[in-house]
């Protein structure tokens, strides 16, 4: 009797080995033959799961980010915590994601730098949708923080988000170049959020890890 194939497990295995190859060799230098050889899945069979490596990359990004985005959304909506504590927790989660998912960040940068994509490609739409969702969460937290008297009104929520977001992008570049330091990132992000708060609010004693632990029950 033929052995039953767990197609879901095989699909995830293909994504895992493809991500590893993308991260080490670069997206443009990884072929479907490479993925077939590394996964142990014959190339003709591989095409039953994915039409090509672009579709594989799209699936990798979706699978790797969907759960993270849901958790970040749950943090942002946790009304038991003050807006600035939720924001610190989100920063910590993003640092942890960047640290543990460096291969994914490197793969995305490799793909974008390969110039093999079109401006309106499906892959870019996937990236944009996910980054927009995250940025909207940040804007909402800054709005809540202003209403709660935590954040200053000197800057708009959009301005504050833009400053914070530019630092996250810089963090991604550091991950790609191998120069990422989580401790340095925490210090920089905390300094930025401190600059946004009103003088009567002191967040210097709030630890990133503690803020993240306060939301760990959401996972």
Residue 113: CB atoms within 10 Å? 12
Residues 6+ apart with CB under 8 A from 219: 71
Enter the pTM of the model.
0.80
Place of tokens 């709005």: 143
Residues 6+ apart with CB under 8 A from 50: 14, 56, 59
The answer to whether 17 and 56 have CB atoms below 8 angstroms apart is no
In a domain, residue 2? The reply is no
What are the pLDDT digits (tens) for 22-65?
A: 888 888 889 999 999 999 999 999 999 999 988 998 998 888 88
Give the structural domain span for 177. Answer: 65-218
Instruction: State mean pLDDT over 115-125.
Output: 69
In a domain, residue 49? The reply is no
Q: What is the pLDDT of residue 1?
A: 44
* Structural domain count, the chain: 1
Instruction: State mean pLDDT over 181-192.
Output: 91
What CATH number does the domain containing 105 carry? Answer: 1.10.357
Distance CA 36, CA 100 (A): 25
């Amino acid at each position: 009797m033929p052995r039953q194939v767990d197609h879901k497990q095989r699909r995830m295995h293909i994504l895992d080995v493809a991500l590893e190859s993308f991260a080490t060799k670069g997206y443009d230098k990884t072929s479907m033959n490479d993925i077939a050889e590394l996964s142990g899945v014959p190339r003709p069979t591989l095409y039953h799961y994915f039409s090509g490596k672009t579709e594989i990359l799209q699936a990798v990004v979706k699978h790797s980010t969907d759960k993270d985005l849901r958790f970040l959304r749950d943090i942002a909506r946790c009304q038991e915590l003050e807006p600035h504590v939720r924001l610190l927790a989100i920063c910590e989660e993003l640092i942890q994601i960047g640290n543990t998912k460096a291969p994914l960040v490197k793969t995305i940068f490799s793909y974008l730098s390969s110039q093999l994509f079109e401006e309106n490609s499906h892959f870019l739409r996937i990236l944009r949708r996910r980054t927009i969702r995250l940025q909207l969460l940040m804007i909402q937290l800054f709005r809540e923080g202003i209403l709660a008297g935590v954040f200053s009104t000197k800057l708009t929520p959009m301005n504050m988000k833009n400053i914070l977001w530019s630092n996250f992008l810089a963090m991604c570049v550091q991950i790609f170049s191998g120069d990422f330091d989580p401790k340095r990132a925490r210090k920089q992000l905390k300094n930025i959020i401190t600059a946004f708060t009103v003088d009567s609010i002191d967040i210097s004693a709030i630890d990133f890890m503690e803020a993240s632990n306060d939301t760990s029950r959401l996972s």
